[in-house]
Structure 1
Amino acid sequence: MSYPARLALAVLSAATLMTVLDGSIVTVALPEIQRDLGFTAAGLSWTVNAYLIAFGGLLLLGGRLGDLVGRKTIFLIGNAIFTVASLLAGAATTPAMLIAARFLQGVGSASASAVALGILVTLFTENRQRKAAIGVFSFTGAAGAAIGQVLGGVLTDAFGWHWIFLINVPIGLATVALAIAVLPADRANGPARRADLPGAALVTGALMLGIYTVVEIEDHGWTSGHTLGLGAVSLALLAFFVLRQSRIDDPLLPLRIFRSRNVTGANLVQMLTVSAMFAFQVLLALYLQRVLGYGALETGLAMLPAAVTIGGVSLFVSARLIIRFGERAVLIAGLLLLAAAMVRLAWLPVHASYLPDLLPVMVLIAGFGLVLPALTALGMSGAEAGDAGLVSGLFNTTQQIGMALGVAVLTTVAAARTGALLDSATPTSEALTGGYRVAFAVAAALLVAALGVAVTVLRPVSTTALPTRADRPAAPVA
């Protein structure tokens, strides 16, 4: 791998790490943000939800715009927006200002993240180098969330919550400057007028409304009029979007990409896996704090071995295993390790000791360092050069949907079980642990389902590809 290619990979990875960190670094600072800005308990969640809705809702549009007007251009615009928004968030003095800045951060993150994978797969065309590059890229995503919790605790304790956002400013400026210099210019595949703005409005509205509905389930319930009504509207918008894509000449999301078993299967496996992994990241953190009495920084440090093992496996092991055994086999092995970790957590004792009860789980979670690089390679394996940004945006979109569903489903399951135990006069610590156990069991079931999809749907990369333009009939002339 040449020096310019390494530098370009470093820029893409740094931008991705900044985005992933921003999704988790804020969680440990929420109590201080609430005290300082006067957030209500319900309003505080929007410091997370505003980012999630914008990020998840705009990824698909960002990926397609990258294909049409240039992925490097969209990457630069996204990072610039994210950097300005981080400055605004760090300077926020009211809840409304912070929520607006967080939404703007999500817009920037979506634009940059949607095209990053597309840039990577077109930059590294040789098989061995591409697998190594995906391993490095996946390391930033797999380990970034846990690192964010540690870094958030350190910055909040040492300098105050403002710095969890302000630290992005110098990193963002450096990323933009380096990206201008080292990322290759790419040829746009069509003018902006071909971006299918009505389709973009439909799918963005569907995704934003759908994610909003999911993140509000904990407050309104699964069967409330709020959840069912907004969910129905979101599904209707999505149905109209699919119908439109099947009838126009230049769709935002060409439905032909789903002919690839690997693109479809990898996105489904990712959604199930990411949903399950939120049981580890969110619920285990809650268990450490609410049951074992850990502080924010202690919680981050307790989960640091998971970040180290995930990072080490994805950076130094996954590419070699993929080259020798193939993406599908490595993915299956990683899913088995993750399922074993969730099964172990489903038997978590009320008063756990870290070394015998939790450290083995941190080691098993290294399976995520196998899963993410293999999934990334499978999900991008069929992308043509002209569709790489779109497939990248789709892959990131299913990741965000999985995160939202994981939070909604697993926290609701845990809360319901805890409430039932409290009603039967079970001590609080036992009731909380009982709720977390059930949620971890559900997470294990999600991983088993992901394993089933991987075994039955996915195929070795070398035998699967999206139809090329040469294989498709020409579009009719308008």
Structure 2
Amino acid sequence: MPKTPEPALQQADPSRWKALVFIALAQLMVVLDATIVNIALPSAQQDLGISDGNRQWVITAYALAFGGLLLFGGRIADLWGRKNAFIVGLIGFAVASALGGAATGEAMMLGARALQGAFGALLAPAALSLLAVMFTDAKERAKAFGIYGAIAGGGGAVGLILGGFLTEYLNWRWTFFVNIPFAVVAAVGAYLVIREPAGSRNRSPLDIPGVLLSTAGLVALVYGFTRAESDGWTDGVTVGLFVASVLLLGAFVVTEKLVKSPLLPLRVLLERNRGGVYLSLGLAVIAMFGLFLFLTYYLQVVEGYSPVKTGFAFLPMIAGMITGSTQIGARLMTRVPPRLLMGPGFLLAATGMLMLTQLEVGSSYTTLILPAQLLLGLGMGTAFMPAMSLATHGVDPADAGVASAMVNTSQQVGGAIGTALLNTIAASATTAYLTSHATEAAAGGPAAQLVQAQAMVHGYSSAIWWAVGILAVSAVIALTLINTGRPQTGPAAGADPDAADAEVKIPVVAH
């Protein structure tokens, strides 16, 4: 009799595919929100009277709350129950979106964005860990994470299209209101469909010092990179934020070694394969964020595309990501080791990025930008899919939420670094180009305008070269650090014995 619960845990959840629909819908909403507001920002700024100096806070408030609270949100999901955290996160996100859409001034807008980030930090790790514990079969998990990976990778570009449509044909407020139906449908569906596996919660006491130190450290780190973009790397406050971040996160690591029930058990972070995923994925996101930024500016500012046309111009990348994730990654994940998908995937993406270093004023979309995007999408989709699945492979289900949160954290920090670092490189290269072509720039007329455009494109190209190098480093890390075999071959090499034991009893967790 005592053994009867175990087979039940091993059985696949009959509602798992229905649950995937609602989890994917929630993920799409969160990813959309990262880019959809960017398109609407100029209109919102004008309507609400937000100053140029404070404009960045519409983006930064969300990023700081989301990035800073992710580990806490993941731990709350483990403690409180992933289904509960998921539904509360969705409802909170919908309320925050309604406040943002109804904003009457700067303070209300910034508060709504911070609230969105906070509930997003609860929602995202809960969604990932729910998928992880619901899909027990390796092949089915590959398909599920293939779909999830395609949404996570391509949703940002969909946000550009939707944001363009809503801003151009309705009103910027609809870029917030559009989240409400997504959230309501996902929350109702989750309530009715999702059945969280029994015995997978982590009921140990909450590590309050760890929460405070990790949140403060991550906020300081993300804000440091945000300030570096606007105020420079040598700005006193920027340097102070980076120093504070190092001290706070260092104290967090020490605390996690000493406390009985750590917020982030260091075994989750230091296991070779998971560490390789967090590092390679974070670096790849640096490159991708830079590309979105530069390609958007190139198409709109240099080539004169409308917001809607710019969004549609990203469709080849979305198609590539969906194909790479669902047709290549998902099909091969159970047949080859993850590193043989991630390494070549990052290299293929680097090849697409390399093509974009040839951008010039008037470059052909059909012969340069389109094929480059296809390669980028195929490569990133192929790499992201096994990375997400492997990120919490072998982790005890009780740690599923916080392990999933680590993937989100690496992506969020990578995004902040990518935007600041690559934008700084591009700006420096643009300035250097203008200095060396000062005579033509001073001449005025069409010739000066051409030099300005050429300088911008030169800056983008210079930064994209760095992105190529970063993707190549991601590939090297994936090929050298990640050494686990195919999912069927058992726990990852070097995984904790406890985690390996947990795999036998409870579904393998994957992000």
**Alpha-carbon distance in structure 1 between the residues aligned to 2:369 and 2:202:** 52
1:391 corresponds to: 403
Counterparts of 1:95-134 in structure 2, within 5 Å, are 95-134=106-145
Unaligned runs of 5+ in 2: 1-11, 442-450, 502-511
1:301 is aligned to 2:286: no
Does the Cα contact within 8 Å between 2:300 and 2:310 map onto a contact in 1? yes
* Per-residue deviation, 1:52: 0.8
The alpha carbon displacement at 1:326 in A equals 3.0
Q: Is the 8 A contact 1:305 1:362 kept in 2?
A: yes
Residue 375 (structure 1) aligned with residue 387 (structure 2): yes
CA distance in 1, matches of 2:338, 2:480: 14
Question: 1:430 is matched with which residue: 445, 450, 454?
Answer: 454
The residue type paired with residue 467 of structure 1 is: D
1:360 equivalent in structure 2: 371
Q: Is the 8 A contact 1:211 1:404 kept in 2?
A: yes
Deviates more, 1:118-127 or 1:312-321: 312-321
Tell me which residue corresponds to 1:464. 493
Structure 1 residue 471, shift from structure 2 partner: 8.6
- Say if 2:86 and 2:127, in contact at 8 Å, map to a contact too: yes
**Which amino acid in 2 is paired with 1:405?**
I
- Tell whether 2:435 aligns with 1:406: no
Residue 11 (structure 1) aligns with: 22
* Residue-pair matches, total: 471
SS at match of 1:92: coil
Matched, 1:43 2:72: no
Structure 1 residues 22-68: Cα deviation after superposition (integer angstroms, max 9, x where no partner) = 00111111111121111111211111111111111111111112112
Percent identical pairs in the alignment equals: 38
Contact 2:201 2:397 in 1 (8 A): no
* Match runs of 1:431-450 below 5 Å: 431-450=455-474
Q: CA RMSD, aligned part only?
A: 1.7
Residues 192-228 of structure 1: CA deviation (Å, up to 9, x unaligned): 7x11112101100110121111111122211121111
**Paired residue for 1:93?**
104
Does the 8 A contact of 1:346 with 1:438 survive in 2? Answer: yes
Q: Cα deviations across residues 245-299 of structure 1 (Å, max 9, x unaligned)? A: 1011111111122342111000000111000011221111111112112121111
- Asked if structure 2 preserves the Cα contact closer than 8 Å seen for 1:63 and 1:391, the reply is yes
**Secondary structure of the corresponding residue to residue 352 of structure 1:** coil
1:141 maps to which of 152, 157, 161: 152
CA distance in 1, matches of 2:381, 2:271: 24
Deviations 1:281-323 (A, max 9, x none): 1111111112112121111111122112212332233210222
Deviating 4+ runs (over 6 angstroms): none
How far 1:338 sits from its partner (Å)? 0.8
1:452 is the counterpart of 2:464: no
2:176 pairs with 1:165: yes
Partner of 2:335: helix, strand, or coil? helix
Letter in 1 for 2:174: W
| 1:218-237 equivalent positions in 2, closer than 5 A | 218-237=229-248
Query: Please, which moves more after superposition, 451-460 or 181-190?
Result: 181-190
Q: Distance in 2 between matches of 1:470 and 1:347?
A: 47
1: CA distance between counterparts of 2:499 and 2:50? 56
How far did residue 465 of structure 1 move?
A: 5.9
2:430 maps to amino acid: T
Match of 1:326 among 308, 325, 337: 337
More divergent stretch after superposition (407-416 vs 326-335): 326-335
User: What is the TM-score when the length of structure 2 is the normalising length?
Assistant: 0.89
Instruction: Give unpaired runs (5+ residues) of structure 1.
Output: 473-478
* TM-score in terms of structure 1 length: 0.95
How far is 1:324 from its partner? Answer: 2.6
Distance 1:258 1:233 in 2: 22
AA in 2 matched with 1:459: N
Q: How does 1:253-272 map to 2 (within 5 A)?
A: 253-272=264-283
| Cα distance per residue 1:356-377 (max 9 Å; x no partner) | 1211112111211111101112
Distance, in Å, in 1 between the alignment partners of 2:355 and 2:133 is 40
Q: Which residue of 1 aligns with 2:256?
A: 245
* Worse-superposed segment, 219-228 or 104-113: 219-228
Structure 2 CA distance for aligned equivalents of residues 428 and 181 of structure 1: 57
Contact 1:384 1:466 in 2 (8 A): no
1:339 is displaced (CA, Å) by: 0.6
